[in-house]
Amino acid sequence: MLADHVYMNRALTIAKRGRGWTSPNPMVGCVIVRDGVVIAEGWHQRVGMPHAEAMACEQCPPEALQGSVVYVTLEPCAHYGRTAPCTDLFLTHRPSRIVIAMEDPNPHVKGGGIEILRSAGITVEVGLLEKEAARLNEIFIKYSKTGMPWVTAKCAMSLDGKIATHTGHSRWITGMTARLATHELRHAHDAILVGSRTVHYDRPRLTTRLMYKEGRNPVRIILDAEGILEGNRDAFQDTPDVPVWVAGKKNGDYPFADEVIDLPVNASGMDMPALMASLGARGVTSVLIEGGGETLASAFFSGVVDKLCFFVAPKIIGGRDAVTPVEGKGIDYMNEALHFTDLTAQTYGEDVCLEAYVTHETSGRQDAAGV
């Protein structure tokens, strides 16, 4: 039904209001309709606060809920956590139909809430706008299934693929609107990761700075396989309240760090899969990698990246020694290139952000015959 799509789209839209605040929980939206009229809406605002279904149910009297249609972007929970089960609300108030975009991805609870509701005689439909709902909660889904954080690789570059001049100067490649979009990305991720050379030369704050609303600061993670920042007492002194973790040398001296993560170093530098596993064990559900080029290369070619967000400015920098987004040795043959899917482009002022998802596949055999 067309109306079902309209109401579920609305539920997905309001769910996005919780972006950045609900981690490690998902973003969820709920719309309640009676006689073709929306009588209540709700979304999960922050972790520990009422779920979307509870927020919506609080807005209307119990008699209005009976016989209504509920649209919710994720399967209602059936277990006790920080809040009571959402299924209890519907067992009490008895809507005639519940439309759910997708099942809970957690294998320990998947389908449980749906079964409880159906067993109580409530009509439950699942799968409306499922792809859109899954995209909304891609971070939550991966972490629920694997315990590993979702990894987004981000950079800002010129049309000719440079992230800095041959002297290392990079401020600013993109305009203000694109830079604000970067801060939205930081707000949406649990952690931000850069290499030690980026900290040493650029002295970034790596915090979230939004113009018209409060933002969440991610944990700052610094890769320092070579010990470049050992003994540094000046890094991040202007933002001491935002945690800094260093993945560095064993027993390294990092006065600015709140925590040092001791991980093995391989020929390519820090062991990225081991780092991500360590972060996942610490409860980090998502990581935004902002560079530099060696760090991004290590992330891409170790297979930890899930998504890229490359901001492209209408500028030419030039120079054979200018820095590129993905450095390292690179590949030998084109069939070894990393492939991406679902490429989209969004304009931010004069700049364009390209988003795509890693397929974790290469393009197949080398074509010896050429074209």
Residues designated as active site: 53
Q: Which of 188, 184, 157, 200 is nearest to 293 (CA)?
A: 157
* Beta carbons of 313 and 351 less than 8 angstroms apart: yes
Residue partners of 201: CB distance under 8 A and separation at least 6: 168
The one-letter code for the residue type at 132 is E
CA triple 123-127-128, angle to 5 deg: 90
Q: How many residues does the chain have?
A: 371
Q: Where are the alpha helices (H) located in the chain, listed in sequence order?
A: 2-15, 52-57, 62-65, 86-93, 112-119, 130-136, 138-146, 176-188, 196-202, 272-281, 293-301
Q: Are strands 191-195 and 219-224 parallel, antiparallel or unpaired?
A: parallel
Q: What CA–CA distances, in Å, run from 39 to 10, 58, 227?
A: 13, 11, 59
CA atoms within 13 A on the CB side of 248: 26
Residue partners of 366: CB distance under 8 A and separation at least 6: 333, 334, 335
Q: Where are the alpha helices (H) located in 285-361, listed in sequence order?
A: 293-301
